[in-house]
Amino acid sequence: MSLLEVNGLVKRFRGLMALSDLSFSVEQGEIAGIIGPNGAGKTTAFNCITGFTAVDAGSITLSGTPLRGKKPHEIVNHGLSRTWQLVRPFFGMRVIEALYVPSYCRRSRSSPEVSDDVESRIARTAESLGLTDRLDDWVDNLNQGELRLLDIARAMVTNPLILLLDEPFSGLSHREIARISATVQALNSDGLTVLIIEHRLRELMKMVHKVVVVNFGRKIAQGTPAEVVKEPQVIEAYLGRKGVDLGLA
């Protein structure tokens, strides 16, 4: 059984088919990527999986537990957390206070998987995200890269089995991207499964084990980075000349 299984997902917005029969799975311990052109349905897929958007058809399971129809906070309590394309920080709070907010979810306080107390998990999470020195600082003083790290830290405080990241590199410098990428890979080495939407392909392809390519709400390819960049459908729909520059062929 895969950790996350998405089967036959359909989502219509009036006349527009945002997702048509989208199926893919993410295995325990994997870093998987979702790529595809603008408007392909990637964020809609995240919104459906995380309970923010109602699904018209299909199923979503996490470790075999059906998620479809559950509310976002219930899904978090099952072990699936996410970040958003646009960072919306809790300005006016200190970093440590912003990390306490997600700690009030049930999974963070009382699930059988949780062995440590909230205070030590926040300290451990801040350390693994490189934010220990910033805990007493105001969120308003963080730079863009640190705000992204804080977003990931907030999701990590809920003790997820799988973390969904929506364009975590967006708007960041090369140096900030390298820091986020190394941090996510370290979290993965500690057992976290990760699913990432990203357009920064050169950086993404270096860190993922598997890529799912979506176009017009359908999966058009799946495989290792080296496999998908050779797929004619992927080159035509999305990569074009970009594929040649990824250094994977």
Ligand X SMILES: Nc1ncnc2c1ncn2[C@@H]1O[C@H](COP(=O)(O)OP(=O)(O)OP(=O)(O)O)[C@@H](O)[C@H]1O
- Chain centre to alpha carbon of residue 130: 19
Contacts of 107 (CB under 8 A, 6+ apart): 76, 77, 78, 79, 113, 114, 158, 159
Cβ distance to ligand X smaller for residue 18 or 32? 18
* Residue 40 touches ligand X, criterion: CB under 6 A: yes
* Residue 42 touches ligand X, criterion: CB under 6 A: yes
Cβ distance to ligand X smaller for residue 138 or 216? 216
Among 18, 22, 32, 105, binds ligand X (CB under 6 A): 18
Contacts of 39 (CB under 8 A, 6+ apart): none
Tell me, by CB under 6 A, how many residues bind ligand X: 11
Residue 80 CB, nearest distance to ligand X (Å)?
Answer: 18
Residue 146 CB, nearest distance to ligand X (Å)?
Answer: 23
Of 37-45, 89-97, 100-108, 182-190: span binding ligand X (CB under 6 A): 37-45
Give the type of residue at 106.
R
Contact between 151 and 83 under an 8 Å Cβ cutoff? The reply is yes
Among 44, 83, 159, 188, binds ligand X (CB under 6 A): 44
Q: For tokens 């973390």, name the residue.
A: 163
Q: For tokens 């084990």, name the residue.
A: 209
Please state, in angstroms and rounded to a whole number, the distance separating the CA atoms of residues 28 and 39: 28
* Residue 39 touches ligand X, criterion: CB under 6 A: yes
- Percentage helix, strand, coil, to 5, in the chain? 40, 25, 35
* Residue 16 touches ligand X, criterion: CB under 6 A: yes
Of 36-44, 68-76, 118-126, 205-213: span binding ligand X (CB under 6 A): 36-44
Binding site for ligand X (CB under 6 A): 13, 16, 18, 36, 38-44
